[in-house]
Amino acid sequence: MKRIFAVLAALALIAGCGGSGNRLSVATGGTTGVYYVYGGGLAAQLSNNIANTQATASVTSASIENIKLLATGKADIGFSQSDTAADAVAGTGSFTGKQPVKALARIYDNYSHVVVAPGVAAEKVADLKGKTVSLGPPNSGTQVVARRMLEAAGLNPDSDITKQQLSINESVQAIKDGTIDAFVWVGGLPTAGVVDLATTKPDMKMLDTSDVLAGMQTKYGKQYVGLDIDMSVYKLQGTVRTVGIANVLLVPDAMPEQLAYDITRTLFEKKAELVKVHPEAEKLDRALAQQVEPVALHPGAARYYKEKG
């Protein structure tokens, strides 16, 4: 990570000396989540491989905020969960109107983590009733999923729990401090914040959420899938069944076709370099990447995939 941001700092100095080109802002997520690490790596590759381009990764609350930043011209590339992206293009959920975004690629799957503090009695989502639970920060895809999971378990997220709205960093610290009973995090594997917590609190546990999957699918569609977390990624034992959701890389509708093409090309041509930054980049696959419905592919990305057959 230090190397990535040293590269970005050097590029910023160069850009400051004059010249014109693309200045790209990559909207990611919290600093101990996968979006931020992956986004930092992507920014470095875009800066190094697209002529006259300086890209930087920014810390955000993730999916919802990222889409709003894209729609208002305050970001150029944004990571999002596919359920939030679906709401965005339909103008539902957290969005009051259809958002002007298109997709470059489906990149990897997120896993729902329902993390419970040591000593807290809970075996399934419904057992969180009456407990203090962080549902993720405002304007995050995590909060969208967390609320839908609780509702599918028969709980009202606003009255059946003592609701907190903490980032992944804050949630981990709150478990350490004993100020919350549980938190929901939706992200890739491994998530650095959860690695940290599992190292310091190895008696923490993660709930099986497979019992709420059918209810979520009935109400919101098959974008929610069943996935297994091999807990060895957190140096713990066993496997946890949970709810999964795809991630997509989004850009504004108005992005020039050639720039969208170049970003998509760089994403795949520099896969090996991205894998060194985070293992989730290993999931990049051109065939799977085009499965972004109901969001439309940007014409530049579509041209790239067509050229590659």
- Residue 63 tokens read as 């999916």
Q: What is the mean pLDDT of the chain?
A: 93
Question: Per-residue pLDDT tens for 101-133?
Answer: 999 999 999 999 999 999 999 999 999 999 999
When pLDDT is averaged across residues 70-91 and rounded to a whole number, the result is: 97
CATH (residue range 111-245):
3.40.190.10
What whole-number distance in Å separates Cα of residue 75 and Cα of residue 82? 18
- The per-residue pLDDT for 12 is 42
- Residue 7 tokens read as 């590269």
- The per-residue pLDDT for 17 is 37
Question: Per-residue pLDDT tens for 239-276?
Answer: 999 999 999 999 999 999 999 999 999 999 999 999 99
When pLDDT is averaged across residues 41-45 and rounded to a whole number, the result is: 98
What whole-number distance in Å separates Cα of residue 83 and Cα of residue 53? 31
300 near 255, Cβ under 8 Å? yes
- The per-residue pLDDT for 20 is 59
Domain with CATH 3.40.190.10 in the chain: 2-108+247-307, 111-245
CATH (residue range 2-108+247-307):
3.40.190.10
Q: What is the amino acid identity at position 223?
A: Q
Tell me: pLDDT of 4 over 70. Answer: no
Whether the pTM exceeds 0.75: the reply is yes
- Residue 92 tokens read as 């539902």
244 near 224, Cβ under 8 Å? yes
Tell me: pLDDT of 21 over 60. Answer: yes
